[in-house]
Chains A and B, each alone.
Chain A
């Protein structure tokens, strides 16, 4: 199997398909021809995209089957505003190129105990659901998918899933004037149902609100926002106390990524601020920590004695870690 070096894999671009006017699908295989690390439905990788002398680190959900690790597939929607990593993916990346990417991490897994799964997505938000449905259909689980698109020319991925799963996939905005209504979708569902939403923040908030209105508890509501992943912000520098090394963290990378790039190791698992594995002691701080994780308690945060390097940053003149 392909091994990660400093947390990253070498992926060769095997195939590029334009699936909508804005979305390309990229199929990768391991650059050394071996098997890629396995993943579960809902996982993402972060692709290191060379862009005008810098590196963009964009998170993309894996949409290929979790049961075939000879390749990974992602879909990239070209976004003209923002940091424009997706423009480089569309404009510069060619079949045969080799890109670095992080190993898969899953912050959006399916619930193993659900009696029924309801997926709600907008546009390219359908990508993690591709892999999740692969997983569920093989197990024979009960599911339905509601996908909103901006018009028939943007519906290709939805049509592909309809081909595979038939009536269980409902498309909205595919030229027939229908609109996705999360309140209606989530009403009257059997006990033990789980809902998953992936899309813009507005859609995620709307689904959470609708579920709460129907009396759902949070343990049945799962979501992934487009803008959630990754750690970007102002640059800062960090000192690793054990080696004395000083590492510069650039605006486009996380503290963990910068430390790895400099050839040092920190423990990690999820790389998304959820699992707690990378928790690191702060020995000295002149400034403030920008805690972005879901792991530390409010009281832990206030003491500023701990930091989660996979997502959190600092605005500081001095930061020394026990690492």
Chain B
């Protein structure tokens, strides 16, 4: 679980069945499979039969929970080769979903954040969604200069692949953009870079 002094970072939940829902969709990525297995294990048969699972096997840490996920009698299990495809799969599912649907997200912050963008675009509110962070604490970063998004950033200073600037990753998370903000690292004195520490992720 992520606990840092970053006020803008989302406060994550623990996945547990939302009993008042009439249909459930659980989307996870890599290490997010672990909370997902726990969630499905806590569901009663009726809930499992009303649950669609979307799982991306892309993982920063290399963990894969697909075999465990196959043990549950869910409505549908869809496997995706990468996170972007899983987020698109979630979009397609929500496009025809009805009121009464509950959403469960687990995995990296970038995966949860981009999935939340999709959920929000379909008008889902916070009382219909649970999010549990799992696995690596790498950050998704938005470049304030060229708007490029970089996944899996783990150090304070990095070179933006979009504009080749050296960026410093600020502890400022935007829920709307689902990313931390990256700004030119030597903006004050050209060539003078701050210490390139490992992020407290």
Contacts and interface: CB of A to CB of B under 8 A. Distances in A.
A214 B22 contact: yes
Contacts of A115: 122-123
A212 B101 CA distance: 12
A216 interface: yes
Contact of B126 (A188, A193, A194, A219): A219
B28 to A, nearest CB: 20
B94 interface: yes
B123 A191 contact: yes
Interface in B4-21: 20-21
A188 B120 CA distance: 19
B20 A191 contact: no
A68 interface: no
Nearest to A215: B100
B102 to A, nearest CB: 8
B124 A191 contact: yes
B20 A193 contact: no
Contact of A217 (B97, B122, B125): B125
Nearest to A188: B98
A113 interface: yes
B98 A113 contact: no
A73 B156 CA distance: 59
B123 A113 contact: yes
Nearest to B102: A215
Contacts of B197: none
Contacts of A215: 20-23, 99-102
Contacts of A212: 20
A189 B99 contact: yes
A186 to B, nearest CB: 8
Contact of B122 (A188, A192, A219): A192
Contacts, number: 51
From DSSP, what is the main secondary structure of chain A's interface residues? loop
Contacts of A214: 22, 99-100
B98 A191 contact: yes
A218 interface: yes
B123 A219 contact: no
Contacts of A194: 123
Contacts of B127: 217-219
A220 B100 contact: no
A296 interface: no
B128 interface: yes
A114 interface: yes
A53 interface: no
A190 interface: yes
Nearest to B120: A113
B95 to A, nearest CB: 9
A215 B101 CA distance: 7
Nearest to A189: B99
Nearest to A194: B123
28 contacts: A113-B123, A115-B122, A115-B123, A186-B99, A189-B99, A190-B98, A190-B99, A191-B94, A191-B97, A191-B99, A191-B101, A191-B123, A191-B124, A192-B122, A192-B123, A193-B99, A193-B123, A194-B123, A214-B100, A215-B20, A215-B22, A216-B99, A216-B100, A219-B125, A219-B126, A219-B127, A219-B128, A220-B125
Interface of A: 113-115, 186, 188-194, 212, 214-220
Given A193-B123, A212-B20, A215-B102, 8 more contacts: A115-B122, A188-B98, A190-B99, A191-B123, A192-B123, A193-B99, A218-B127, A219-B125
